Structure 1
Amino acid sequence: MKTLYVVRHAKSSWDFPQLSDFDRPLNKRGKRNAPDMGNRLKMRGILPDLIIASPANRALTTAKKIAKEIGYPVESIRENDQIYHSSEATLLQIIKDTPDNIQGLMLFGHNPGFTDLANFLGDQWIDNVPTCGIVAIAFDVESWTSVAPKTGKNLFFDYPKKVLL
């Protein structure tokens, strides 16, 4: 069994028009939501074996804030340039390239690719993964190379504005 966690970056700031899209930081809400979502993951007992993040400022910062909350070593986060503005096909290849000793993989990146990926792999349609949204998808496979479209089972979809009961 393999579990994939697809995490869209937290809300970014548009206060610095001179910055490139790649360099945009999180805004106040994003800085608050990322640790909150990390805490929700911690309450679920989730600690992935590997975190891979887009190197874009907002995605990497989100990954670090969530990693800190769940107890994942921040220095162990791997950056992958291919995640920035990627398609579901590119993201699927990153997943397939994951070593099989990894049971839980958490990816941090961007839309529209992350919503497309969740819909490409999972069994429940999601209109949009909002900022700092998390989609967990389980695969009944021994190898990440066996992950294929529509073979996953959605475990949960959580995001900052979702009310948890």
Structure 2
Amino acid sequence: MKILFLVRHAKSSRDDPSLPDRQRPLDDRGRHDASKMGKRLTDRGVEPDLLVSSPALRALTTAQLIADEIGYQRKDIVVDERLYASSPDNLLAVICALDDRLDRVMLFGHNPEFTDLAHRLSSTIIDMPTCTVAAFCFDAKAWADVAEIGPAEVRMDTPKR
């Protein structure tokens, strides 16, 4: 079984228009929501083998805040340039290339790519608001297989639930 978590970054601040897009921080609600979602994941017993984040500050901070709640070391978060300004096809290529020894992987990134990929994996997902966590469980032994098969189970959680 392979479990993929797609996490859209939490709400970001646009208070400083001079900041480049990659440097936009989370706002107060975003910081709160990321910690809240991390606590929910802990309550569900989620223990990912790997966290991979876009290099954008808002995505990486979301990953760090969730990592803090689930007991994952911040220093072990992998920053992958391919998760920033990507496409569903490129994201799927990243997923298919994951080490098959990993069973539970959490990716942190952006819309519209994450919603588009989530919808491709499960037509039941139409939108991923900020800080949404979508979990896809695949009956597969290799990550490369997830591109060819549909998930056996899909769950989605948002901070507003």
TM tier, smaller? over 0.9
Residue 120 of structure 1 contacts residue 149 of structure 1 at CA under 8 Å; is this kept in 2? no
Q: Deviations over 1:97-150 (max 9, x none)?
A: 10000000100000000001111113x422210000000001111000111156
Gaps of 5+ in 1: none
Structure 1 stretches of 4+ with a deviation exceeding 2 A read: none
TM-score by length of 2: 0.97
3-state DSSP class of the match of 1:5? Answer: strand
Q: Percent identity?
A: 48
SS at the partner of 1:13? coil
Q: Report the secondary structure of 1:155's partner residue.
A: strand
Matched letter for residue 157 of structure 1: M
Alignment of 1:6-155 (within 5 A): 6-122=6-122, 124-148=123-147, 151-155=150-154
How many pairs does the alignment contain? Answer: 161
CA distance in 2, matches of 1:155, 1:113: 18
- Cα distance in 1, alignment partners of residues 35 and 115 from structure 2: 21
Distance apart, 1:154 and its partner CA: 3.7
Give 5+ residue unaligned stretches, structure 2. Answer: none
Instruction: Return the alpha-carbon distance in structure 2 between the equivalents of residues 49 and 67 of structure 1.
Output: 11
Residues of 1 paired with 2:152 and 2:63: CA distance?
A: 24
Please tell me the residue identity of whatever aligns with 1:25. Answer: P
Distance 1:8 1:153 in 2: 22
After superposition, what is the alpha-carbon deviation per residue over 1:5-47, rounded to whole angstroms, capped at 9, x for unaligned? 0000000000011001111000010011100000000000001
Separation of aligned partners in 2, 1:149 and 1:127: 20
Tell me, what secondary structure is at the counterpart of 1:128?
coil
Amino acid across the alignment from 1:51 = L
1:155 shift after superposition: 3.0
AA partner of residue 56 (structure 1): A
TM-score by length of 1: 0.94
- Aligned equivalents of 2:85 and 2:130: distance in 1? 15
CA-based RMSD of the aligned residues comes to 1.0
